[in-house]
């Protein structure tokens, strides 16, 4: 028996496996490198369900909380006081001085901004501009939930001449309210 070493001339029907082995080895190396990387876990934090907590206690009566509201009709209200476009800046300056006088005990002056869902966007922006124009020292907090209705289970008092809720500060200039200091 003998082996044919290539003495025959003409086409050969044997497969050249060298390039095939090279490709398979390259693929093997790629998979060996990538497999350990794919096994690493990705950390995902899923929020846990929070237990229902008791509502926070009402603020102390001497706490000055200021709520600036834009209602559906586009009127401005500070706590229970209705403001006009002409008087809004001056009245907010009075509220700012009152809040600034209590800065040592309550922190920097904060005003909470609440726009009714049906209020016009332009009026809400005008309200924010009015707060900014009254004093640059305000810290503006945006209200995202209705606190009066959800915390007490009752409807909030209509703005205007209605008396403030128990524990809420009286409007500056109202009977029984502390007189704001004038730091001139």
| CATH number for the domain that contains residue 136 | 3.30.420.270
The answer to the question of residue 61 being in a domain is no
Question: Would 115 be classed as within a structural domain?
Answer: yes
User: Partners of 140 in the beta sheet?
Assistant: 111
Inter-residue contact 104 to 64 (CB < 8 Å):
no
Residue 184 predicted with pLDDT over 60: no
Read off the pLDDT of residues 7-66 as tens digits, 9 standing for 90 and up: 667 777 888 889 999 999 999 999 999 888 777 777 777 777 766 655 545 545 556 788
DSSP character string of 126-139: HHHHHHHHH-TTPE
pLDDT for the residue 70: 93
In a domain, residue 50? The reply is: no
Q: What does pTM read for this prediction?
A: 0.48
Domain count along the chain: 1
- Report yes or no: 76 and 127 within 8 Å, Cβ to Cβ: yes
User: What's the pLDDT tens digit per position in 82-108?
Assistant: 888 888 998 898 888 888 888 888 888
In whole angstroms, what is the distance from residue 109 CA to residue 48 CA? 35
Residue 58: inside a domain, yes or no?
no
Pairing relationship of beta strands 76-78 and 66-70 according to DSSP bridges: antiparallel
Residue 175 resides in a domain: no
In a domain, 132, yes or no: yes
Q: Is residue 3 included in any domain, yes or no?
A: no
Helices (H), the chain: 18-38, 88-101, 103-106, 121-134, 147-152
Residue 19 lies in a domain: no
User: What is the edge-to-edge ordering of all strands in the sheet holding 66-70?
Assistant: 81-83, 76-78, 66-70, 110-115, 139-142
Structural domain that includes position 132:
66-146
């Amino acid at each position: 028996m003998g082996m044919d070493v290539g003495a025959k001339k003409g086409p050969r029907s044997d497969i050249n496996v060298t390039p095939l082995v090279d490709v398979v080895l390259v693929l093997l190396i790629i998979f060996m490198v990538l497999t350990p990387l794919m096994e690493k876990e990705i950390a995902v934090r899923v929020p846990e369900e929070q237990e229902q907590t008791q509502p926070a206690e009402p603020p102390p009566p001497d706490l000055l909380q200021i709520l600036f509201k834009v209602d559906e009709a586009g009127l401005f209200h500070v706590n229970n006081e209705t403001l006009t476009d002409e008087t809004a800046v001056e009245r907010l300056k009075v509220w700012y001085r009152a809040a600034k006088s209590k800065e040592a005990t309550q922190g920097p002056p904060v005003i909470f901004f609440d726009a009714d869902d049906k209020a016009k966007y332009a009026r809400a922006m005008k309200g924010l501009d009015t707060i900014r124009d009254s004093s640059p020292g305000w810290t503006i907090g945006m209200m995202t939930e209705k606190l009066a209705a959800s915390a007490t289970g009752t409807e909030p008092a209509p703005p205007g001449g209605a008396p403030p809720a128990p524990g809420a500060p009286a409007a500056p200039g109202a009977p029984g309210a502390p007189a704001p200091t004038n730091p001139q």
